[in-house]
Structure 1
Amino acid sequence: MLKAVLFDLDGTLLDTAADFTRVLNSLLSEHGLPLQHYDAVRHRVSDGARAVVNLGFSLTPEHPDFDGLLNAFLDRYEQALSEQTSLFPGMDEQLQALEARNIAWGIVTNKPERFTTPLLEQLGLTERCATAICPDHVRERKPAAEPILLACAQLGIRADEAVYVGDHRRDIEAGQNAQMPTIACRYGYVSEGETPEDWNPDRIIDTPQGLLAALRDLQLLED
């Protein structure tokens, strides 16, 4: 039976897009540039800070100004990680249901530890989260299997005793590379032009409330 559920962070477990939008627009305002709408930023968050900066400033990483803008964005984000960030509505109830069944849950993210650790602390999730694997902890980040396999090793379980939940193609590929069941989140920050069906996950959920039902459907969880 299921021993752990592993989550991607941004767009799967946590709704962070409003804080990304706030930080980007504060930087754009200082440069006299048009502000970005929340919906546009939301579609870029799962692709990382570089994609968000590219959206706002229309610069590629090769541009000589890009690194300076990226660092300014990250520094500003670090100073106010959780002003508007929270668990997705309904997610806390799903986590509580897992905890009540003694099923561990953890995080495997491409978000650096510099932001992940304090964010979890600020949201009061550190003690509840059984493991949090960031790119700082591995040689290869998702979609490689290494971060997921490290999380399983820390939990003392086999990969087939866990499931990975994410909102990006790389999340599903990472779970598949680790040879574990995968669940895609249609409610998350799915990039424009992408559809979760194309990633071939084992299940797709439209809301966090669908998680336990998907686990039961996969015969990983008893009623």
Structure 2
Amino acid sequence: MKPSAFLFDLDGTLVDTAPDMAGALNRLRAENNLPALPYALIRPWVSHGAGALVRLGFGADIQAERLDVLKQRYLAIYAANLCVDSTLFPGMADVLKALSSQGRSWGVVTNKPAFLTEPLLAGLGLTTPCIVSGDTLPVNKPDPAPVRHACALLGLSVEECVMVGDHKRDIDAARAAGSPSIAAAFGYIQSDDNPHDWGADAVVQHADELHQWI
């Protein structure tokens, strides 16, 4: 049975935010008299969030107090440059159009905080009644609560909604919630990680492959 709704992770699944997130990290490094890091090095870390990016840029052994200061500055830089080069992943616009034409719903379930999620979606001209950000609930993925909350917002059962994501936490959250899941192998995957090992119901290499479930 085809799902009634698609729930998308944001960074690395629905939207390619890596250019702007990497740009913010390199601006932060420049402010601290450090050279830019290669984009290819930063990209796989984007789905891990601001803290992981700051550790990548300033060392894994960075002290907690300095990490917090740099993280807040990173978020400020990124928020001011939120939708400069970020775009929907190739093929994703057609997926959203197909869902709309079929009368199916879609939503976003992300660990990204709302003050970044909502203006990013607005900047890309994307509207949905179902946005579950990282601070919508007291818990984040891989906890199943955000997936369950998204299903409730859409008025659908967990079995009717499929979660699509580029990180194991997305698949774990869906499984724990009782929803089917699709791993987005086109997203921000670490070189030592394999989406086929996450336990998803399916793995896609390109957004175009999602049409078979619409």
Going from structure 1 to structure 2, the CA distance change for 1:211 and 1:61 (only over 3 Å counts) comes to farther
Alpha-carbon offset, residue 2 of structure 1: 2.2
- 1:151 matched to which residue of 2? 150
SS of residue matched to 2:106: strand
Match of 2:55 in 1: 54
Amino acid at match of 2:153: Q
**Post-superposition shift, 1:108?**
0.3
Farther-moved stretch of structure 1 (91-100 vs 54-63): 54-63
* Structure 2 match to 1:74: 75
> How much does 1:62 deviate?
3.9
- Residues 79-104 of structure 1 show CA distances to partners (whole Å, capped at 9, x for unaligned) of 11000001001100011001100000
Matched, 1:42 2:43: yes
Please report how far the alpha carbon of residue 61 of structure 1 lies from its aligned counterpart in structure 2 after TM superposition.
Answer: 6.1
Partner of 1:180: 179
Which one is further off, 53-62 or 74-83?
Answer: 53-62
Find the counterpart in structure 1 of residue 161 from structure 2: 162
Structure 2 residue 111 is matched with structure 1 residue 110? yes
Residue 203 of structure 2 is aligned to residue 204 of structure 1? yes
Aligned to 1:218: none
Compute the RMSD of aligned alpha carbons: 1.2
* Whole-angstrom CA distance in 2 between matches of 1:12 and 1:67: 27
Q: CA deviation at 1:59?
A: 4.2
Deviation at 1:40, TM superposition (A): 1.2
Identity of aligned residues (%): 41
How far apart in 1 are the matches of 2:176 and 2:62? 28
Q: Is 1:87 aligned with 2:107? A: no
- Superposed displacement of residue 63, structure 1: 3.4
Q: Give the unaligned 5+ runs of structure 2.
A: none
What's the TM-score once normalised by structure 1's chain length? Answer: 0.92
**What letter matches 1:69 in structure 2?**
L
TM-score after normalising by structure 2:
0.96
In structure 1, the residue corresponding to 2:65 is in which secondary structure?
A: coil
* 1:137-148 paired onto structure 2 within 5 Å: 137-148=136-147
Contact 1:205 1:211 in 2 (8 A): yes
Structure 1 window deviating more from structure 2 (130-139 vs 97-106): it is 130-139
- Deviation at residue 142 of structure 1 after TM alignment: 0.2
Find the aligned partners of 1:67 and 1:105 in 2 and give their Cα distance. 34
Question: What whole-Å deviation, never above 9, does each CA across 1:15-35 have from its counterpart, x for those lacking one?
Answer: 000001111111111212131
Partner-residue secondary structure (3-state), 2:64: coil
Greater CA drift, 111-120 or 188-197: 188-197
Distance 1:175 1:114, change over 3 A: same
Cα distance in 2 for residues equivalent to 1:14 and 1:112: 15
Between the aligned partners of 2:174 and 2:63, the Cα distance in structure 1 is: 31
Query: Which of structure 1's runs of 4+ aligned residues deviate more than 2 A?
Result: 59-64
